[in-house]
Amino acid sequence: MTVRTRVAPSPTGDPHVGTAYVALMNYMFAKKHGGEFILRIEDTDRARSTSASETVIFESLKWLGLTWDEGPDIGGDCGPYRQSERSDIYAEHCDKLIKDGNAFRCFCTTERLDAMRAGQRAAGQITRYDGYCVHLTEEQIQQNLDDGLSYVVRMSVPDSGTCTITDMARGEIEFPWQSIDMQILMKSDGMPTYHMANVVDDHLMGITHIMRGEEWIPSAPKHQLLYKYFGWEMPQIFHLPLLRNPDKSKLSKRKNPTGVLFYQRMGFLPTALLNFLGLSATSTPDGDVLYDLEGLTEQFDISNIPLTGPVFDKVKLDWINGKYIRENMSSSQFAQSVQQWALNETYLKSVADLAQSRISKLSDLGGLTSFLFSGTLGLTEEQLLNGKLSQEQVIYALFLASAGLDELQDWSDSSIESALRQVAVVADVKLKDMLRHFFITISGSERSLPLFQSMDLLGRDICRERLREALTTLGGVTNKKRDQWTKDWQKAKSTG
Ligand code: GLU
């Protein structure tokens, strides 16, 4: 048997370091066994999926060197590898489930479902579909279809007994069937849900081992049941622990930068990041010896993967990166990395476009543009408050800006400008006064290159981190204010 693993990201934002971690584990497991590693794009959520996000996923994985043997861009024998292109396959499989009595059409309205859930909550029960449409007769179903009623397809789930899942790391996990919902498999728009598409694809793509985040453990019983309904063998499954913040909470961008691109823009080297992410699964978890991806794969041992989530410790990452730069690179490799990082033609050209009209000799360039080649700026409270707004106003504006910029689908100077204009309105401050503080936060100086274009060039991740650093320096935001201010922002947006 050839081992086949996959990473199956949803293209709904910038790729997360957690995705890189999952990809790395799947990659190493496949390669260690002489197998194949597949990239599948799970874009069934049409409202949230974007092709820009898909492109960034490709770029991030390639930057890390986690190349795939089959995938949407290079094809393969089991394609297409983008779920939005596989609708017919899911429809066919869904029909079979209905025909075999393993799934049913559910015509329940949102009102009925809301009332049902409210009743279950009031009775202290688990909220779960109550099976109302399981018992519709053929005639009733036909009548509903003739009447053009909209419906979803749900899977049938046993009413009693227990389901036992075997996880490669955890052994057997039991779930009472009573706690498992009659999962929607097909939405009313005919698109499959994650569960349906994921199971069908893993089978048809010949996946032998699934390594995915532990947040999917509760889905495993549904998936196992679907495999049984189809008469297929279920791949072996390993639920990976989630990366955590140093305070042990789930890694979140509020507390730590989480985008792969952030680490790229900060000048971390792909191999250092891979070593950092892979450390917990190798036999030298202290990171004393650093490996390239091949060496890391040789060291990889699935039984070393800890069941408690590895802490995403930035201090350690810094240490590994520094060690890698100092000890594992020749000077020409180092020079080449710097060049690829930010002295490449594309980036330099964009910097030059911004700076040319503002300098009188070439040596002015360094001082004027150094913030475009830096990570965080380490500004003091005094520097951040050097302007007309009060501390409270600056904190409020920085907070709103973080929320507004995070939501932008498209990161461009014009979208950044309109978000910041809206921030000034909501914060009830003059745009000009507010932007002075933003100039300082982003560039470290009161007078600099055009703000919006500089932010565009720096990228969302670095800007977010500079805003976050400034907020922390100014004393941070209490949870109560965070909730209130998030509401302020949502309200302002909904009223336009
Ligand atoms: N699309 C899912 C995700 O992005 C994949 C989960 C899985 O690997 O089954 O997390």
Report pLDDT digits (tens) over 32-47. Answer: 999 999 999 999 998 9
Q: Are strands 152-155 and 103-106 parallel, antiparallel or unpaired?
A: antiparallel
**Three-class SS of 317-385:** HHHHHHHHHHHCCCHHHHHHHHHHHCCCHHHHHHHHHHHHHHCCCCCHHHHHHHHHHCCCCCCCHHHHC
Alpha-carbon gap, residue 494 to 496, rounded angstroms: 5
Q: What is the pLDDT of residue 221?
A: 98
Ligand 1 center to 173 CA (angstroms): 20
Q: What is the pLDDT of residue 286?
A: 66
Handedness of CA 462, 464, 470, 472 (dihedral sign): negative
Ligand 1 center to 475 CA (angstroms): 37
Contacts of 249 (CB under 8 A, 6+ apart): 255
Question: Which atom of ligand 1 approaches the CA of 219 most closely?
Answer: 9
Name the burial class of residue 211, with classes exposed (0-12), middle (13-18) and buried (19+) by CB atoms within 10 angstroms of its CB.
Answer: buried
Question: Which atom of ligand 1 approaches the CA of 210 most closely?
Answer: 8
Lowest mean pLDDT among 60-64, 116-120, 408-412, 450-454: 408-412
Q: Taking Cα atoms as reference points, which of 155, 153, 302 lies closest to residue 221?
A: 155
Bridge partners (DSSP) of residue 5 are 37
Query: Of the residues 165, 194, 195, 210, which should be mutated to test ligand 1's pocket, given the most ligand atoms within 8 Å of the CB?
Result: 194
Q: Is 9 in the pocket of ligand 1 (CB under 6 A)?
A: yes
Q: What is the pLDDT of residue 256?
A: 80
Alpha-carbon gap, residue 58 to 73, rounded angstroms: 9
pTM value? 0.92
> Can you list the alpha helix ranges (DSSP code H) found in 78-206?
87-99, 110-122, 138-146, 194-204
Mean pLDDT across 135-153: 95
Q: Which one from 32, 96, 253, 255 is the annotated catalytic residue?
A: 253
Q: What is the pLDDT of residue 17?
A: 95
Q: What is the pLDDT of residue 287?
A: 66
- 253 pLDDT exceeds 70? yes
Contacts of 230 (CB under 8 A, 6+ apart): 93, 96, 97, 199, 203
- 415 pLDDT exceeds 90? yes
Q: Is 8 in the pocket of ligand 1 (CB under 6 A)?
A: yes
Lowest mean pLDDT among 68-77, 145-154, 246-255: 246-255
Q: What is the pLDDT of residue 496?
A: 64
Ligand 1 center to 210 CA (angstroms): 10
- 284 pLDDT exceeds 80? no
Ligand 1 center to 212 CA (angstroms): 7
Confidence of residue 254 (pLDDT cuts 50, 70, 90): confident
- 188 pLDDT exceeds 70? yes
C-alpha R_g of the chain: 26
Q: Is 212 in the pocket of ligand 1 (CB under 6 A)?
A: yes
Instruction: List the structure tokens of 102.
Output: 């393993």
Confidence of residue 88 (pLDDT cuts 50, 70, 90): very high
* 3 state SS of 76: coil
Q: What is the pLDDT of residue 257?
A: 86
Q: What is the pLDDT of residue 457?
A: 96
Alpha-carbon gap, residue 227 to 334, rounded angstroms: 50
- 201 pLDDT exceeds 80? yes
- 307 pLDDT exceeds 90? no
Let me know: does 51 contact 13? Beta carbons within 8 Å: no
Q: Is 198 in the pocket of ligand 1 (CB under 6 A)?
A: yes
Q: Is 25 in the pocket of ligand 1 (CB under 6 A)?
A: no
- Helices and strands of the chain, counted as H and E runs: 21, 9
**What value does the mean pLDDT of the chain take?**
94
Q: What is the pLDDT of residue 466?
A: 97
Q: What is the pLDDT of residue 265?
A: 94
- 283 pLDDT exceeds 70? no
Q: What is the pLDDT of residue 332?
A: 98
Alpha-carbon gap, residue 184 to 105, rounded angstroms: 10
Alpha-carbon gap, residue 44 to 11, rounded angstroms: 10
Let me know: does 354 contact 450? Beta carbons within 8 Å: yes
Name the burial class of residue 124, with classes exposed (0-12), middle (13-18) and buried (19+) by CB atoms within 10 angstroms of its CB.
Answer: exposed
